Each structure stands twice: as C-alpha cells, then as structure tokens.
C-alpha cells in the first residue's frame, strides 16, 4: 500500500521507532579555576577583541562573559528554529517543538515534524512501483599501495586451502586425535565418542569502510 504523502517533494518520512526532535542548543564546560588557585597556578589569557573569549575552563567567568555566551546560544537556537520552520511550513507550531525535547516518530507526525511513517525500504519499494529507477551505489575499490602483495595474499590463501583439505582427508576417528591435538577421551571426558563436523574456514569478502 502506497502513501500519497511520500510522493511530494520534500516529504519527510521516518521509521515508526525513530527518535526525532531535539531542536535546541546546549553547551557546557567545567571550570577548574579554584583548583588552580589552591595550587598557586595562574592561568593567563591574551585576546584582541572584547568578546574573543567569553567563558573559559581555566580562568574566572564573569557575569558579563556568561551573559554573552548565553546570548550566542540563544542566537543559534533562533536560527535553528527558523530553519526548521521554513522547511516544515505552517503545519508546524515551532515554539511547541523547539524545546530541546525528542519524541518517537508517531508523536512527531502529530506535531508536524514528519509527514509519514515508514522505513527506507518502504520508500524505495514505493518509488520502484511508481516507475522510478532504483540505483544501488557501491564504493569504488581503492588500488593497493603495493600491487605485488596481492600475489603473496593469493599464495597464502592457496596454502591455507591446501592444508585445510589435507586435514579434512585424515581419518581422525581412527587415530583418536583431532586437528587440535586432543584425544577423544580429552574431548569427551565420559568416554562417549562423537564425530565433529568438518571446520570450514570462510573468508569474509565484504567491503570494509574506514
């Protein structure tokens, strides 16, 4: 079942259990001035410009400095609210949601922060049904810095496969040993004998991201 809301440009879709909101600004820092003072340590700060340094971790924070810092935080919050309000339109009561709180997507839909509920797979499937092309992007393989190492790696893989095949061909049950060197009595203390499945050494060929 498709959703008409998802067809609009700029439509915001969120998974039902997504946590959204947090339209607020926070800043905090410790102040160790008293610790330094008790240990006879002076912290010197040199600035050019009245408000180049407002609050500080090491020095004294005056009321004027704290008020300026709070003013800067409020300005950022105002810009944040205006951006969200412009993007979401009149359907959003910005003062109701710009409290720094966060909600589950179901509540966000009621508040106007999102238009519809669904996962990324839901949206992709709907677009495919509507005739859009679905394009999967894959990272481009990086060239190896030392190409000759690929030959060494291949040789190691081949050797490992040969050793694994040779070990698998040995009738371990007849020898009373397993590839780890333990006897059957060591593996099964109560004397019952069982046959272990052959271990398969599978190499992970997935792409790693750094």
Which residues, other chains included, contact 160 with Cβ-Cβ below 8 Å and sequence gap of 6+?
201
- Whole-number Å distance between alpha carbons of 101 and 124: 30
- Whole-number Å distance between alpha carbons of 68 and 37: 25
pTM for this one? 0.59
- Whole-number Å distance between alpha carbons of 67 and 181: 73
- Whole-number Å distance between alpha carbons of 112 and 110: 6
Question: Percent of the chain having pLDDT more than 90?
Answer: 49
pLDDT tens string 7-41: 555 789 999 999 999 999 999 999 999 999 999 99
- Whole-number Å distance between alpha carbons of 174 and 171: 6
- Whole-number Å distance between alpha carbons of 44 and 193: 77
- Residue range 165-174: mean pLDDT, rounded: 70
Scan for tokens 């060929």, then name that residue: 205
Residue 164: pLDDT above 90? no
Grade residue 151 by pLDDT with cuts at 50, 70 and 90.
Answer: low
Question: Percent of the chain having pLDDT more than 70?
Answer: 72
pLDDT tens string 63-95: 999 999 999 999 999 999 999 999 888 888 999
């Amino acid at each position: 079942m498709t959703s008409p809301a998802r067809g609009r440009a700029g439509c915001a879709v969120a998974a039902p259990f997504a946590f959204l909101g947090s339209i607020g600004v926070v800043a905090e820092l410790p102040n160790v001035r008293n610790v330094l003072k008790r240990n006879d340590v002076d912290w010197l700060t040199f600035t050019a410009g009245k408000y180049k340094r407002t609050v500080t971790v090491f020095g004294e924070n005056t009321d004027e400095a704290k008020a300026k810092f709070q003013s800067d935080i409020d300005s950022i919050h105002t810009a944040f609210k205006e951006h969200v309000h412009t993007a979401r339109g009149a359907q959003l009561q910005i003062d109701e949601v710009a409290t720094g709180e966060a909600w589950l997507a179901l509540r966000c839909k009621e508040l106007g922060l999102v238009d519809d509920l669904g996962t990324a797979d839901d949206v992709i499937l709907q677009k495919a049904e509507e005739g859009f092309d679905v394009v999967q992007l894959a990272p481009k393989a990086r060239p190896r810095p030392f190409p000759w190492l690929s030959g060494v790696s291949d040789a190691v893989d081949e050797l490992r496969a040969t050793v694994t095949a040779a070990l698998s061909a040995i009738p371990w049950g007849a020898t009373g040993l397993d590839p780890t060197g333990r006897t059957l009595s060591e593996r099964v203390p109560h004397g019952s004998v069982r046959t272990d499945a052959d271990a398969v050494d599978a190499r992970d060929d997935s792409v790693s991201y750094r």
